[in-house]
Chain A
Amino acid sequence: MDIDVKMTVNGKAVSGKVEARTLLVQFIREHLRLTGTHVGCDTTQCGCCVVHVDGVAMKSCTMLAVQAEGKAITTIEGLAAPDGALHPMQQAFRDHHGLQCGFCTPGMVMMGVDIANRLPGADEKTVRHQLEGNICRCTGYQGIVEAIMDASAVMNAARS
């Protein structure tokens, strides 16, 4: 039996019919065709599927689409400005070479924004701890950590 779901994705009201077992990430990728959000492990470990639900980072592979009813979702596609200008976190990943193959990057960037929002001014050790739910098998994390610290400072400055 299909269930009607309604939510806001990247500022736009969307709706669809899903099975109860449809995961939020499946709804985002297969129904909405927003394929920036990735599925890496499908077991809540790797963080490639991280999106923001009501402004907070969550793993969309471990959430049902029906659990997102009425929520505001932001995916990697919703970060850049409408004119295409990159979000400070995206720009910093580019500047610091915070990616190699790019598969983990959407989740890393979304988690990076979440860390910067929650813990402004976090030191390097804290950022590394906060990344424990996001796995990158290319970079060794150095560029990713530098990017998050840099973007965090830019976001802080923009807030004040």
Chain B
Amino acid sequence: MHNFNYHRAADVADASGKLTSLDDPKVLAGGMTLLPTLKNRLAAPSDLIDLAGIADLKGISVEGNEVVVRAMTPHAVVAASAEVQKALPALAQLAGNIGDPAVRHRGTIGGSVANSDPAADYPAGCVGLDATIVTNKRKIAADDFFLGLFETALEAGEVITSVRFKIPERACYMKFRHPASGYAVVGVMVAKYGAKARVAVTGAGPCVFRVAEMEAALEKSFAPASVADIKVSPEQLMGDIHCSAEYRAHLITVYARRAVEAMV
């Protein structure tokens, strides 16, 4: 790991100021992706700005029809939260299956969302559950937030402060877990909001995406058979040493169907 300057941000404004004034800074949240990246010398930021000391970036609340998770809340806390388990069990279940227990104790929702890893679980949670990403500057709909491979709508000096998930009637997240890393080879979040349905897929493309054809079919009839024959084209999907794009396309249909099966 190349050395860097380390800063403990006093508050979000301080972090944002340092992000815009320093040479080539990066935000340090839980560090579960950033530190391995630095160790491999895939990045060499001049400065790390640690958010861990900012007390109001931690915690969970249910406000009206939303579950609000503050940015520095670790996955283990979301998974074990009685409030989340009651209001939005699919989100607790998603958080409880990220990585391994030691990683869940440290990794944070803000870090995961800001990274837009193509195989991360939270992006499917955000888009599938019609979330709003709240930053120190604005509110961004999850649909407009994830732009591509490790690319988001975040601008310079922008820091995620919380994620607000819309509570659905029902939701379910199903993933084909990579047996070594725990990352999603394919993960599908299906949610039902009245007559509306959302289907968000992670692990398969350059970043999370929705499957409009499945959503329309579920809105006509919310049943496993509605999605069982809908194929996603492998053209825009990823193929790697783990499996081909065609296999990922196949998994999307299988896991969408299983998610709906678990909900009806």
User: Which listed residue (A45, A57, A64) contacts B101, Cβ 8 A?
Assistant: A57
Question: Counting CB contacts under 8 A, is A58 at the interface?
Answer: yes
How distant is A40 from chain B, measured CB to nearest CB, in Å?
13
The answer to whether B100 touches A67, judged by C-beta atoms less than 8 angstroms apart, is: no
User: Which listed residue (A19, A66, A69, A111) contacts B102, Cβ 8 A?
Assistant: A111
Q: Which residues of B contact A114 (CB under 8 A)?
A: 101-102
The docked-state distance in angstroms from the alpha carbon of A69 to that of B32 is 18
In chain A, residues 26-64, which have Cβ atoms closer than 8 Å to a Cβ of chain B? 42-45, 47, 50, 53, 56-59, 62-64
> Which one of B4, B50, B102, B182 has the highest number of Cβ atoms from chain A below 10 Å of its Cβ?
B102
The answer to whether B105 touches A58, judged by C-beta atoms less than 8 angstroms apart, is: yes
How distant is B58 from chain A, measured CB to nearest CB, in Å?
13
Question: Counting CB contacts under 8 A, is A115 at the interface?
Answer: yes
The docked-state distance in angstroms from the alpha carbon of A72 to that of B106 is 15
Q: Which residues of B contact A44 (CB under 8 A)?
A: 32, 35-36, 103
Question: Counting CB contacts under 8 A, is B1 at the interface?
Answer: yes
Q: Place the interface of chain B in its size category.
A: 20 to 34
The answer to whether A50 touches B102, judged by C-beta atoms less than 8 angstroms apart, is: yes
Question: Counting CB contacts under 8 A, is B220 at the interface?
Answer: no
In chain B, residues 1-16, which have Cβ atoms closer than 8 Å to a Cβ of chain A? 1-6, 8
The answer to whether B1 touches A21, judged by C-beta atoms less than 8 angstroms apart, is: yes
Q: Which residues of A contact B99 (CB under 8 A)?
A: 133
Question: Counting CB contacts under 8 A, is A132 at the interface?
Answer: yes
Q: Which residues of B contact A47 (CB under 8 A)?
A: 100, 102
User: Which listed residue (A45, A53, A63) contacts B35, Cβ 8 A?
Assistant: A63
In the complex, the chain A residue whose C-beta lies closest to that of B39 is A42
B-side interface mostly: mixed
Question: Counting CB contacts under 8 A, is A8 at the interface?
Answer: no
Question: Counting CB contacts under 8 A, is B31 at the interface?
Answer: yes
Q: Which residues of B contact A81 (CB under 8 A)?
A: none
How distant is B44 from chain A, measured CB to nearest CB, in Å?
11
In chain B, residues 94-136, which have Cβ atoms closer than 8 Å to a Cβ of chain A? 99-103, 105-106
In chain A, residues 62-95, which have Cβ atoms closer than 8 Å to a Cβ of chain B? 62-64, 66-67, 69
Question: Counting CB contacts under 8 A, is B67 at the interface?
Answer: no
The docked-state distance in angstroms from the alpha carbon of A66 to that of B36 is 16
Question: Counting CB contacts under 8 A, is B180 at the interface?
Answer: yes
In chain B, residues 51-90, which have Cβ atoms closer than 8 Å to a Cβ of chain A? 52, 76
User: Which listed residue (A3, A58, A130) contacts B6, Cβ 8 A?
Assistant: A3
In the complex, the chain A residue whose C-beta lies closest to that of B4 is A20
The docked-state distance in angstroms from the alpha carbon of A118 to that of B182 is 21
The answer to whether B100 touches A132, judged by C-beta atoms less than 8 angstroms apart, is: yes
26 contacts between A and B (CB under 8 A): A20-B4, A20-B48, A21-B1, A21-B2, A21-B4, A21-B38, A42-B39, A44-B35, A44-B36, A45-B180, A47-B100, A50-B102, A53-B105, A58-B102, A62-B31, A62-B35, A63-B35, A64-B6, A66-B6, A67-B50, A69-B8, A111-B102, A118-B101, A130-B101, A132-B100, A133-B103
Binding site for A on B (CB under 8 A): 1-6, 8, 28, 31-32, 35-36, 38-39, 48, 50, 52, 76, 99-103, 105-106, 180-182
3 tightest CB-CB pairs across the interface, nearest first? A133-B100, A20-B6, A21-B1
